[in-house]
Amino acid sequence: MDALISGQAEVAVLIEPDSMRRFHVDDPETLVPCARSDVPYLFANVDDVVRLSATTHDAARRELERLWQQDRGMHLLLILLDREEEQDTRREAAECLEDLLGIEAVEAVETFLGDRLYARPLPAQGDPAAACRLARAANAGRVVRFVEDLDSNQPYVLDRRTAWDSLPQGLFACAADKRAFDDLLIARGYFRRAALAGEDRSRVDAVWVELLADRALARLPDHRRVLLAWKENLVLVRATQRREVQPEPSGDPSAESRRPKKVRPGHEILDRIERQKKAIEALLTRGKRSQALRFAAQLVKYQEKNSTPEQIAKTLCDLARRAAQCGCPEEQLSFASQAVEWAPFDPQTHNHYAEALVSLGRSEEALRAYDETMERFPDNVVARNGRAEVLKALGRSEEALRAYDETMERFPDNVVARTGRAEVLKELGRFDEALLAYRDTTATFPHNRVARNGLASTLVLMSRHEEARAMLGTPEPVCLADWIDLHVRGMIFLKEGNLEEAVAIFQKGLDCPFPRQRAYFRTALAIAKLRAKEYEAAARLASEDRLAGTLSAVIRLHAYGELHDEEKAAAAYADTLKSRNPTAARLREELGARYVLRPPDHVWQSDDWVFEQECFLALAA
């Protein structure tokens, strides 16, 4: 059996062929049956999910205990370091952390905490001196040593992080690639090892030898150039930006005035702020939008006292991203608009604003927003790709291709431009060219799931189903790419005529935690219902969610036409007129002739032709 495990959620789910059971960290022997639809909600808002294959209950229990110890240790340490927490609470945290570090897994927990705490400087709210005093009072010797070492190495932590954050975005194919590097560097302890090397050049060089030889990092695009650029940056930072960590307050006012002020890096998000952001996301998920906006306003007000305008803007951009994931485009636009006001010279804020307009279906406004961003920030690749994507959505496919070509000319290793261009070719029905573009991208970026998903869907459109199946991942989805794989798997069954399997997959997709992907499952299920001549069910599904846009309108036109509901069929036909997609136009001509216009000289297409075109729209979306 397989298992999904999260220390943050304090739960493990055991997956067997015909059943699923879960258990809690406090009671690992009690197995509770659960449905597959429960899984996304059990692991909502956590980022430490681990999958074990061919495992046992006992192995899953041990892994859950390990992950829980790591998560608990991090919470206790953050409480201990937080100067705003009550003294008694901090002392109790020190005692509990000492007990945790004293168990058999001490090295694993200490290593986990060190890998993460050495990756970024302590926030302004951090209070290591008082944390050491409180830990001594609690006889927490291990904790004292850990915090003292962390505190004394803050100058080196700051240097390493500053050198990394100041790397130009052009070194990376996209922002996601930089995050992938960052996550892996933290998880494998390289920030910690680099900081502990201090000023010893031979030790620093030894760390970089390990970095360049690391096989996991070698799988990331252009890893040598990125890692060597980080080292070059570090030399510059050490020469020009050495900062002292702020010492304990003393009774000497003159010493206080001479003391250099500690500057908190722009990326740093206090644990308190992160908790509030998660609370806002939870409110949006539950539909409590006005309360979420009120919490967000309070968060901004709090950050005004503790952060720079750039940091506030980063928080608002993150909230905009979370709102988009929750399917709340109005709130997404609100957060993004505020971010632009706080940091008008940061292209990221303008990109989030344009993305919010796209989420609201205001494509022409989004195009103007991207044009303005590119005019102000001509080297911003995110704006360039966003603009091309909007052109594609508007049906201006040739312009979108030119836009992607221009981006690839300036940024030849940008994977987003590569996959975007391939998607346009696929949408135009130029499958051989799309296949070549996707294969070229997967050869350069073998672990890029977007390119692999696109390649698989193109193979399906070319009726090369077995090749497509070989590209797909696990049938038990966890991340967004897994859900896209599942959608493609369902489309294979649908095109092969296996309606039972297809419907089962699409029904499962209705529980997908990603709103836009959920809409794709819903419209695919509607196509299956059309194929089964269940027209009322198809019409209902296509009317429930308009995120799929053109395809939803086409399905409603088809379903209401077969139900002889002329008024609703005419309304759906009018909705299809908004699309410039060539396939949608061909379907509109055929279905409009059948059910709305009824011209006497129309040459009718077959039902199989209509079905194939509807599947094309579902896969090319």
Structural domain spans, the chain: 2-152, 155-240, 271-458, 509-620
Burial class (CB within 10 angstroms; exposed 0-12, middle 13-18, buried 19+) of 309: middle
How is the chain split among helix, strand and coil, in percent rounded to 5? 70, 5, 25
Say if residue 354's pLDDT is above 60.
yes
**pLDDT given for residue 262 in this prediction:** 43
DSSP state of 510: T
Helix (H) or strand (E) holding 268: none
Q: pLDDT tens for residues 175-193?
A: 777 888 888 999 899 999 9
pLDDT of residue 547: 46
Phi, psi of 32, rounded to the nearest 5 degrees: -110, 125
Strands (E), 247-335: none
Indicate the residue type of 375. E
Nearest in space to 283 (alpha carbons), one of 267, 307, 299, 270? 299
The overall pTM is greater than 0.75: no
The CA–CA distances, whole Å, from 356 to 338, 360, 385, 456 equal 12, 6, 15, 29
The closest of 418, 417, 499, 486 to 456, measured between CA atoms, is 486
Backbone angles phi, psi at 82, to 5 degrees: -80, 115
pLDDT tens track for 46-58: 778 888 988 999 9
The topology under which CATH files domain 271-458 is 1.25.40
Backbone angles phi, psi at 450, to 5 degrees: -60, -45
pLDDT in tens, 264-299: 433 334 556 777 888 888 888 888 888 889 889 988
Average pLDDT over residues 468-496: 86
Alpha helix positions (H), 532-606: 535-544, 550-562, 566-576, 582-592
Q: Are 122 and 154 in contact (CB under 8 A)?
A: yes
Counting Cα atoms < 13 Å in the Cβ hemisphere of 236 gives 12
Per-residue model confidence (pLDDT) at position 245: 39
Fold entry, domain 509-620: 1.25.40
- CA nearest to 388, candidates 408, 359, 361: 408
Rounded to 5°, angle at Cα 485 from 479 and 490? 130
| pLDDT tens, position by position, 398-409 | 999 999 999 999
pLDDT number for residue 248: 44
Place of tokens 């999904």: 4
Give me the residues paired with residue 52 across strands: 3
Check for a shared fold between 271-458 and 509-620. yes
Q: DSSP code of 82?
A: B
Q: What is the mean pLDDT of the chain?
A: 85
pLDDT at position 263 over 50: no
Provide, rounded to the nearest whole percent, the portion of the chain with pLDDT above 90: 36
d(CA 430, CA 178): 32
pLDDT of residue 252: 47
Cα–Cα distance list, 447 to 43, 56, 451 (Å): 24, 28, 9
* pLDDT at position 118: 92
The total of other beta-carbon atoms located within 10 Å of residue 51's CB is 14
In sequence order, which residues have a C-beta less than 8 Å from that of residue 368 and are 6 or more positions away? Answer: none
Which pair of tokens denotes residue 601?
Answer: 């000289």
Q: How many CB atoms lie within 10 A of CB 399?
A: 15
pLDDT at 255: 43
Sole residue written with tokens 């998560």: 71
User: Residues 317, 348: contact at Cβ < 8 Å?
Assistant: yes
pLDDT-derived band at 237 (thresholds 50, 70, 90) equals low
Q: Which residue has the tokens 């579902």?
A: 618
Q: Are 454 and 487 in contact (CB under 8 A)?
A: no
The confidence score (pLDDT) of residue 436 equals 95
pLDDT at 559 over 50: yes
Backbone torsion region of residue 564, taken as left when φ is above 0, otherwise alpha when ψ lies between -120 and 50, otherwise beta: left
- Would you state the pLDDT for residue 477? 82
Cα-trace Rg, the chain: 27
